[in-house]
Amino acid sequence: MQPVGRTVRAAAVAAAVALFSTTACGGATERDLDPDQVDSVELPELGACRMLTPEDVAEPSNATRIVDCAEPHTAETYAVGELPERLVEESYDSSRLGNFAYRRCSEAFEEFLGADESAVMRSMLSWAWFRPSEKAWEAGARWYRCDAVGGGDQSVEFVELPETAKGLLRPPPPDEWMACAVGPTVEGSVKVPCSADHDWRAVTTIRLGRDDDEYPGDALVEVRTRDFCSESVGAWMNYPLDFEYGYTWFHEAQWRVGNRRSVCWAKTSQ
């Protein structure tokens, strides 16, 4: 996606941000692992805290040691459960597992943080899901684990969470946990919390379809996002004569796993 030209009132910039990281090296070191969790068939502990890294959340399973939530941690388990019966015969890397996890973890994430989908997408927080190890899967384990983490797919490292992240984004959400960005355009910018100096703020989102809708195509998604964000950001800024806005839209791969929203950004230091 490339930046589009300046309009009468605004400049629009499209930025591609992937919802899920698909490649990674390493993960938790052997010293960080809990041997009792490595191939466990038992449900993970709800409310457990861990020191996870971006490399950890790119792996399908995780056995990082649990730490006291009063101590430094970057992740908190907010949902666990058994996979539904319709998925128990799926292969270990089935895309249907990812589709289920996206919907289950997303819905539980909003409830856990006390925010709606739009606020969650504009925050500095994200979630990761894990399944049993392949050995445990072969032994019949069919559980899932959803962890809140202090960062996103573009994070070099995660930030520490409070003792619990429950209710962290209740209105009005604190700037410390909302997403802003530094850079001349949204594309290629560095995401920072809005409590820090910034050039852009994620201010609204647009929902582009229902859960059962087919992907409408890149062109339509971008045009609808651009047009909505122009009006939405203008309203958010109280309709100035001239302003800059940006937008982040997602492709078919993210649509297939459940995402139906694009993000609108305002050029502002406020």
Q: What pTM value is reported for the model?
A: 0.85
Q: Mean of the per-residue pLDDT values for the chain?
A: 88
> What is the torsion angle, in degrees rounded to the nearest 10, for the CA atoms of residue 248, residue 21, residue 110 and residue 66?
-150
Quick one: pLDDT at residue 6?
25
The domain segmentation of the chain, as residue ranges, is 14-267
What are the pLDDT tens digits along the chain (270 aa)?
323 222 222 222 322 233 333 233 345 666 689 999 999 999 999 999 999 999 999 999 999 999 999 999 999 999 999 999 999 999 999 999 999 999 999 999 999 999 999 999 999 999 999 999 999 999 999 999 999 999 987 788 999 999 999 999 999 999 999 999 999 999 889 999 999 999 999 999 999 999 899 999 999 999 999 999 999 999 999 999 999 999 999 999 999 988 999 999 999 988
